[in-house]
Amino acid sequence: MALGPLMLDMAGAELSAADRELFAHPAVGGVILFTRNFVDHEQLGKLTAEIHGLRTPPLIVAVDQEGGRVQRFRAPFVELPAAQLIGRRFDMNAREGIDLAREAGWLMAAELRSAGVDLSFAPVLDVNWGVSEVIGDRAFHRDPDVVGELAAAYMGGMHDAGMAAAGKHFPGHGAVRADSHVALPVDRRELADLLDDMRPFERLIRAGLEALMIAHVVFPAVDELPAGFSARWLKGQLREERGFNGAIFSDDLSMAGAAIAGDMPSRAAAALAAGCDMLLICNDRPAAEAVVDEIDAPAEPVAQLRLMRLHGRAAPGRAALVASERWRSALDLLEGNLGKPDFSLRA
C-alpha cells in the first residue's frame, strides 16, 4: 500500500479502534501528533511504533516542535528556545548564533527521532516584520538574509539527527496582522515586494529542503485564492520559478483561513488540484472521515517519492542519545546562551 495524501490527528495517547480503521485507509499517509497525545517518552515511542506498524510503507508521524510557544512535547524533552532568541544571539555574535541554530535544530530532531517521530514542521522561514502576532517570536529575524542563514544552520542540525526539514509558511506569513487560524489574511503587496519574504525559502530550496508548508494567506497581486489553493503559487512560483522538488503540505484545512474553499471535501480537492502533496486535517474527525472516501489514493508516483523522503533515518534511543557527547555539548550551548541576562525576549 502506498502513502495517501492525507495527514490526520488522533484524540488520545493511545490508538483507538476507530483510529486504526481510519489510518488504514489508502487515502491516509501520515499522522500529526499534539500535546494531548503525549504522556512521556516511553509512551510516545510505543505510540509511534504502533502507528508505523499499521502500514507498509509506514505512515509519516509528524509534530510541531519548533520551540518557544510552539512545542507540543515538553519534559523530559528539552525546552527549546523560540527562534527569535537565536536571532538575537546572532545579532550579538553571528558565529554563536549560527552554532546555536544548528545545535537547537539537532537537539529538537534528535529527541524526536529517539521517540520514533519522523518529522517536525520546522524551521519557520517567515520574516518578522513586526506585524504578525501569530508569527512574532517564531521567526528568526527581521532581515530575510539572516532568516535564511539561521534556518539553513537549523536544517543542517536536523539533517545531522536523521530528520528531513519542513519549512513554513510559503510564501510568507510575517507581513499580515490577521491569524489564519481564525481569519483569512490578505497581503496586498505586489509580487516584487514579496521577493524579500521568499529569499529564506529560496536559500533552503537550494540547500535541499525536503518539504514546505503553505500559508493560508491571499496575495491578490498573484492570485485571488489563498496560496495553498493556488496553482499559480504552487506550480508556478514554487515548482517552476524556484525549482522546488520537495513535498508540499497544506496548512491545516480546518483553519478559518481555508474556509474560502468550501466544505472539507472541497478544500481537499482544491488543495490537491493546486499542487499540494499532503493535506493536514486536524481537530475535526467528522470532516476527516468525510474526506477519505472522496480522495483518489494513493498520491501520484512523483508525490510518493517526495513523501517517502520524509521518513526519519535510523537514530539512537533516548538512553544512548543522552549519553552522547553531542547531547551534552548541545545542552551546554543552549543553557549557556539562555542563561545570559541580555538574552531574553523581555529585553
Just list the catalytic residues.
181, 251
What does the block give as the cell for 115? 521517540
Q: Give the length of the chain.
A: 347
117 has which bridge partners?
none
Distance CA 46, CA 50 (A): 6
Distance CA 106, CA 175 (A): 29
| DSSP count for the chain of H helices, then E strands | 12, 12
Give ∠ CA 193-198-202 in degrees, rounded to 5: 140
Q: Which residue type does 249 have?
A: F
Do 4 and 253 contact (CB within 8 A), yes or no? no
Question: For residue 284, what are the CA distances in angstroms to 60, 261, 288, 294?
Answer: 19, 16, 6, 16
Half-sphere exposure of 55 (CA within 13 A, CB side): 24
Distance CA 223, CA 229 (A): 10
- Helix/strand/coil for 309: coil
Upstream peptide bond of 26 is cis (omega within 30 degrees of 0): no
